[in-house]
């Protein structure tokens, strides 16, 4: 063998051995041979601790656990608003609610100019074939959900506006052609038809919405947005004879002894409310969350949630099997997360929106088959990071309007400068008693500050359909709240928790002299972050008032 050849062989051997001895090294960005396919799965009301890979003791989630084991799990992932519509807008636009200005009580819809900078529109403009399956809870245009702009923004649309319920056919005509009746299974059928239209001709031909067939070779972006395990869906589970056995018998052996949260308090046992009576108007809470008040009803709902989560897990497994069957698994990125969490009676509380760990923290996995698998990190990841991350992975520049950070370098194991604190907020202060609040979460602490709650007076003057019908007075208050704390609105109550030693946020340290310096630091940090979240205080969000439209297309007549 010539000397040069021997040297080349030796060099290759050394390089190979070096690579073998350095697992978990940072990966280089994937080669620009072809654009990756991307599938974003967003669940509804799913707590961070509801899956096996985040430590749930009995959750049967083998497919999600495998996804986490093969992908990158963000142990410390949070949404910036723990309520459906603003959170979903944040995922789409990469913006804090204070910037995008969309909520149930805002009386506004997203302006088309804002929607033009969402990740689905930007990817479609960049040559991606785009699809949307499941639930849409984001109003766009002058008539909100009934404008039709959302449907027209995708090549493939198989979704219903507002809630779709456990039995989607009962609420939305668009799902009539599905073979099965339950939500996770109906959504799975829509996914399968998107991925493999040639094998689902009957589905495509019978669809009442025009569904484009995905061209071979064109990269795709599929958004899968569920209405599970949301209470509207789990509440409507009827254990029909046609339901899969999963929804009739799974977890039922835990009916009487399913462990309740460590900080659970039954309503009759509450001695000292979590928040002062003038901050949280607890008597106005939505009746839909009364199930947390007693252990037996709490366990029943928690079992239904587990059943729904296992149904979602099975859907993910079917999706991955189809990707393998089609030979595109090696070039398809999967992102899994939730729009926020939900109280299971912690501190005697029900519902969401408040700025506690239970509501803001979510499961989050990014699986990119092109990079080293099986990583976990404690970097503070936010919902607003998903849009710029998706665009980065697709090789598309994020617009200046996006406030989030690109997570993809972290998934490749790269050491990049990162945030040291996460900001969250609740602007859904309504007739249901919720206070306005803002929070800062670091690796060690959570700080929450509250503002005056004077919404009781609105109760008698507000239409019953509060979530979708908003009086001008309520909308006007919301508009003012976008900048109120920045302009000096006084704080009426504070909480400080040492998350490292008090993960259930039981011991409020705000009045403990030992933590006075920490409290001052986080107060200052909150002022900085809320200003950053709003941006230019004099620039209003790109929203438009919603005008009522009686024609509810895509709905059953009685919905």
Please list, residue by residue across 423-455, b when 16 or more beta carbons sit within 10 angstroms of its beta carbon and e when fewer do: bbbbbbbbbbbbbbbbbbbbeebbbbbbbbbeb
The three-state secondary structure class of 210 is coil
Nearest to 333 by CA among 235, 219, 194, 428: 219
- Alpha-carbon span 468 to 448, nearest angstrom: 28
Q: Where are the alpha helices (DSSP H) in 126-276?
A: 149-152, 183-195, 201-206, 231-235, 246-249
Whole-model pTM: value is 0.92
Domains of the chain: 41-363+372-545 (3.40.720.10)
- Alpha-carbon span 521 to 526, nearest angstrom: 9
pLDDT above 70 covers a percentage of the chain that reads 89
- Alpha-carbon span 174 to 294, nearest angstrom: 38
pLDDT digits (tens, 9 = 90+) for 208-244: 666 788 888 899 999 999 999 998 899 999 999 999 9
Q: Residue 2: its pLDDT value, please?
A: 40
Q: What is the mean pLDDT of residues 473-484?
A: 90
Residue 396, pLDDT above cutoff 80: yes
Q: Residue 34: its pLDDT value, please?
A: 84
Task: Say which residues have a Cβ less than 8 Å from residue 334's Cβ, sequence separation at least 6.
Answer: 39, 41, 67, 71, 316, 319, 320, 365, 366, 367
Contact predicate 387/93, CB 8 Å: yes
The three-state secondary structure class of 497 is strand
Contact predicate 407/413, CB 8 Å: no
Q: Residue 205: its pLDDT value, please?
A: 75
Q: Residue 215: its pLDDT value, please?
A: 87
In this structure, of 134-143, 303-312, 387-396, the range with the lowest mean pLDDT score is 134-143
- Alpha-carbon span 12 to 440, nearest angstrom: 50
Q: Residue 494: its pLDDT value, please?
A: 99
Residue 19, pLDDT above cutoff 60: no
Q: Report which of residues 206 and 434 the model is more confident about.
A: 434
Q: Residue 142: its pLDDT value, please?
A: 86
Q: Report which of residues 109 and 559 the model is more confident about.
A: 109
Q: Where are the alpha helices (DSSP H) in 394-439?
A: 408-411
Q: Report which of residues 305 and 546 the model is more confident about.
A: 305
The three-state secondary structure class of 135 is strand
Length of the chain: 559
Q: What is the mean pLDDT of residues 246-254?
A: 97
Q: How confident is the model at residue 26 (pLDDT cuts 50, 70, 90)?
A: low
The three-state secondary structure class of 452 is coil
Q: Residue 332: its pLDDT value, please?
A: 98
In this structure, of 83-87, 296-300, 393-397, 543-547, the range with the lowest mean pLDDT score is 543-547
Residue 202, pLDDT above cutoff 50: yes
Contact predicate 147/122, CB 8 Å: no
SS3 content of the chain, % helix, strand, coil (to 5): 40, 15, 45
- Alpha-carbon span 555 to 470, nearest angstrom: 21
Q: What is the mean pLDDT of residues 550-559?
A: 45
Phi-psi region of 259 (alpha: psi -120 to 50; beta: other; left: phi over 0): beta
Q: Residue 469: its pLDDT value, please?
A: 60
Crossing angle of helices 386-393/84-93, nearest 10°? 30
Q: How confident is the model at residue 558 (pLDDT cuts 50, 70, 90)?
A: very low
CB count, 10 Å around CB of 376?
A: 13
Tokens of 47: 């707590």
Nearest to 150 by CA among 133, 171, 166, 167: 133
Q: How confident is the model at residue 464 (pLDDT cuts 50, 70, 90)?
A: very low
Nearest to 76 by CA among 343, 339, 443, 346: 443
Q: Report which of residues 301 and 104 the model is more confident about.
A: 301
Please list, residue by residue across 19-41, b when 16 or more beta carbons sit within 10 angstroms of its beta carbon and e when fewer do: eeeeeeeebeebeeeebbbbbbb
């Amino acid at each position: 063998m010539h000397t040069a050849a021997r040297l080349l062989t030796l060099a290759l051997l050394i390089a190979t051995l070096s690579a073998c001895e350095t697992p978990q090294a940072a990966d280089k960005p994937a080669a620009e041979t072809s654009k990756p396919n991307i599938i974003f799965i967003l669940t509804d009301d799913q707590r961070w601790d509801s899956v096996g890979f985040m430590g749930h003791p009995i959750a049967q989630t083998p497919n999600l656990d495998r996804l986490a084991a093969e992908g990158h799990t963000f142990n410390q992932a949070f949404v910036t608003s723990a309520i459906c519509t603003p959170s979903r807008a944040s995922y789409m636009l990469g913006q804090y609610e204070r910037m995008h200005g969309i909520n149930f009580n805002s009386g506004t819809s997203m302006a088309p100019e804002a929607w033009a900078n969402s990740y689905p529109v930007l990817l479609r403009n960049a040559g991606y074939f785009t699809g949307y399956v499941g639930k849409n809870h984001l109003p766009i245009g002058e008539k909100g959900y009934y404008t039709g702009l959302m449907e027209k923004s995708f090549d493939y649309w198989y979704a219903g506006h507002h809630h779709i319920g456990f039995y989607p056919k009962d609420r939305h005509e668009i799902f009539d052609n599905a073979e099965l009746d339950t939500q996770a299974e109906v959504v799975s059928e829509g996914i399968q038809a998107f991925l493999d239209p040639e094998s689902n001709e009957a589905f495509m031909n019978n669809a009442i919405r025009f569904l484009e067939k995905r061209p071979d070779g064109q990269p795709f972006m599929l958004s899968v947005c569920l209405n599970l395990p949301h209470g509207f869906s789990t509440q409507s589970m009827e254990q029909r004879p046609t339901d899969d056995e999963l929804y009739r018998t799974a977890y039922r052996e835990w009916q009487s002894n399913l462990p309740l949260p460590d900080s659970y308090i039954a309503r009759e046992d509450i001695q000292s409310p979590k928040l002062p009576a003038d901050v949280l108007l607890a008597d106005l809470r939505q009746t839909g969350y009364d199930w947390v008040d007693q252990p037996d009803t709490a366990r029943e709902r928690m079992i239904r949630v587990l059943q729904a989560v296992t149904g979602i897990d099975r859907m993910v497994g079917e999706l991955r099997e189809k990707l393998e069957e089609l030979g595109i698994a090696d070039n398809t990125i999967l992102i899994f997360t939730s729009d926020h969490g939900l109280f299971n009676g912690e501190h005697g509380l029900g519902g969401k929106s408040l700025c506690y760990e239970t509501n803001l923290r979510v499961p989050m996995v990014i699986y990119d088959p092109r990079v080293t698998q099986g990583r976990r990190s404690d970097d503070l990841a936010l919902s607003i990071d998903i849009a710029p991350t998706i665009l980065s992975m697709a090789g598309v520049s994020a617009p200046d309007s996006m406030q989030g950070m690109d997570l993809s370098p972290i998934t490749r194991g790269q050491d990049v400068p990162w945030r040291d604190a996460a900001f969250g907020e609740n602007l859904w202060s309504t007739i249901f008693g919720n206070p306005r609040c803002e929070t800062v979460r670091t690796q060690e602490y959570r700080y929450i500050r509250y503002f005056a709650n004077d919404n009781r007076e609105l109760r008698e003057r507000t239409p019953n359909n509060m979530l979708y019908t908003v009086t001008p007075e309520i909308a006007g208050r919301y508009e003012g709240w976008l900048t109120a704390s920045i302009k000096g609105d006084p704080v009426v109550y504070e909480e400080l928790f040492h998350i490292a030693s008090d993960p259930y946020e039981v011991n409020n340290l705000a009045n403990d002299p030992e933590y006075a310096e920490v409290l001052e630091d986080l107060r200052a940090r909150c002022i900085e972050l809320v200003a950053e979240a709003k941006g230019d205080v004099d620039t209003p969000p790109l929203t438009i008032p919603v005008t009522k439209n009686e024609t509810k297309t895509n709905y059953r007549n009685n919905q």
